[in-house]
Structure 1
Amino acid sequence: MNTAKFIATPVHSSWAGGLFLVFSLALSGCANSIQPVRPAVYDFGPGLVTGTAASSAATRAPLIMGTVESTPALESLALHYRLSYANGQQLKPYAHARWSMAPAQLIRQRLSEQLSQTRAILNPGESGLAGTAAPATLRIDLEEFSQLFEAPAQSVGLIRLRATLIQPSQTPRVIQHSVVVRRPAPSADAKGGVQALTAATDAAVLEIDNWLRLHAP
């Protein structure tokens, strides 16, 4: 019986090196095709577009509006939510959604837009018109600003803040007002949370405006 003989053919180093290069390039191409997910960026939208601010801004006393202060957890651009049915004490950020500015800045911008419809809004350090009384100062402390899930498919936008009005005089008068507003989210995701928090902010801003009409007319 004849015995078949198999002769092992050596693999040339140049061919092996080329195969390794092709394999490396293929892996590199797969890695480059995986693009990082960019977070969606949100704000409160264009706001009140009425065109009446210039004509009616002088109907009420000027007001100095300070910065809106917030807790350290709310100083970032993160869009936060809470799961009240699981652990309501834990504030969690959405991975692929964020605000265009910190919530405190967005709220100050929205509040300024509303108040400037009927009065001049001044920054800290600015003074009113010569010969007029010194303007009062409004300060805002933002305590809560999150999408609160009461069930996996049910959530609200929750905002809680404290407004402080300081009226200048020999003995400055300080008046405070707490605001808590909840608005339902149309969907159980970041987009729904943004819509709910925008609606809650607008309602809080209107409440502050009405409060100021009584104490700083």
Structure 2
Amino acid sequence: MSLISCLSVFDRSGARSERRRVGAVGGLLLLSLLSACSVIPERPVRPTQYDFGPGLSTAPATPAKAKLPVLVLADLEPSGLLDSSSLVLYRLGYTGDQQLRPYAQARWALPPAQLVRLRLRDLLGTQHAVLSATEGAALQRSPDQPLRVLRLELEEFSQVFERADQSSALVRLRATLLDNRAAGETLLAQRVFVARHPASSPDAAGGVLALTQATDQLAQTLAQWVDAVPAKP
């Protein structure tokens, strides 16, 4: 074989080797890109946030001071998982399970204890001048001006499933009503309030709506009880 022929063969084989090397490098690069794409984390899904809605649609009338006492509404004390948690909780009652479970993609805009207190303040404010504990301590009042303190503890606030496709909201609240005078506080009454309301759907949205409605029912009963408890002589 002539020198020219040998060079020609060498050029063709070298070109083929170069193309194979380029193809191999390209394949490795493509595999690297695909591998990198596969480990990029997906964008996390933000949980849906719920509250009790806009509240009262009209401003309440100012109560007559001579008839109704000023009401100090203390911070509502939560218990268990309700303590500073914004989880939307449910129970599987039909299994006999005593465990509170959270919805993965549902949250309250505020801890339930705060939401319930705001709702109660709005309703009680239609009949009473409602103050916080700090405002009540700083209040300058005459000896004959009545002042009551309402302390509350939220014991249950969950969606209870009676069946897989049927549930209801359960709200339980312990209320303690005190008479506050210069000599100190006197117990007027104490009561546990329970409200249930059926959920329109067996999911977080249905549970949130039912818990809002159950809270409103309980608030109405609580307000009537506060007004009905007689004052100490």
Please give the range of the TM-score, normalised by the shorter of the 2 chains. 0.7 to 0.9
Q: Report how far residue 135 of structure 1 moved.
A: 1.4
What SS does the aligned partner of 2:172 have? strand
CA separation of 1:183/1:78 partners in 2, compared to 1, >3 Å: closer, same or farther? same
Deviation at 1:107, TM superposition (A): 0.3
Is the aligned partner of 1:159 residue 2:196? Answer: no
Structure 2 residue corresponding to 1:101, chosen from 99, 110, 113: 110
- Which segment drifts farther, 110-119 or 120-129? 120-129
Structure 2 counterpart of 1:39, from 39, 47, 51: 47
Q: Which runs of 5+ in 2 are unaligned?
A: 1-12
Distance (Å, rounded) in 1 between the aligned partners of 2:91 and 2:161: 6
Q: Hey, what does 2:227 align to over in structure 1?
A: 213
- The amino acid of 1:99's aligned partner reads W
Matches for 1:67-78 after TM superposition, within 5 Å: 67-75=75-83, 76-78=85-87
Structure 2: how far apart are the matches of 1:96 and 1:216?
46
Structure with max Cα Rg: 2
* TM-score, normalised relative to structure 1: 0.86
Q: Which residue of 2 aligns with 1:3?
A: none
Residue 4 of structure 1: aligned partner:
none
- Relative to structure 1, is the Cα distance of residues 194 and 9 closer, same or farther in structure 2, using a 3 angstrom cutoff? same
Shift of the alpha carbon at 1:130?
A: 2.6
Asked if structure 2 preserves the Cα contact closer than 8 Å seen for 1:61 and 1:216, the reply is no
TM-score (norm 2): 0.80
Q: Tell me the number of residue pairs that the alignment of Structure 1 and Structure 2 aligns.
A: 209
Runs of 4+ in 1 over 6 A off after TM superposition: none
Which residue pairs with 1:112 in the alignment?
Answer: 121
CA contact (8 A) 2:175 2:191 kept: yes
Question: 2:69 is paired with a residue of what secondary structure?
Answer: strand
Partner of 2:10: none
**Paired letter, 2:168:** V
Q: Tell me the residue number matched to 2:198.
A: 184
Encode CA deviations 1:114-136: one digit per residue, 9 max, x unaligned.
Answer: 11111111111323453143511
* Aligned-residue identity in percent: 40
Q: 1:130 aligns with which of 141, 145, 153?
A: 141
Task: Tell me which amino acid in the other structure corresponds to 1:78.
Answer: L
Q: Distance in 2 between matches of 1:57 and 1:117?
A: 11
Q: Which has the higher strand share?
A: 1
Is contact 2:197-2:210 (8 Å) kept?
yes
Could you tell me how far apart the structure 1 residues matched to 2:156 and 2:194 are? 9
Alpha-carbon distance between aligned partners in 1 of 2:40 and 2:120, rounded to the nearest angstrom: 45
- 1:16-47 Cα deviation digits (max 9, x unpaired): 44433333333444555832111000000011
Deviation track 1:48-80 (CA, whole Å, cap 9, x = no partner) reads 2122x2444746211111011111311210000
Indicate the SS of the match to 1:25: helix
d(CA) in 1 for partners of 2:203 and 2:180? 45
**Contact 1:82-1:89 within 8 A present in 2 as well:** yes
Q: Following superposition of structure 1 onto structure 2, how do residues 169-180 of structure 1 map, counting pairs within 5 Å?
A: 169=181, 170=183, 172-180=186-194
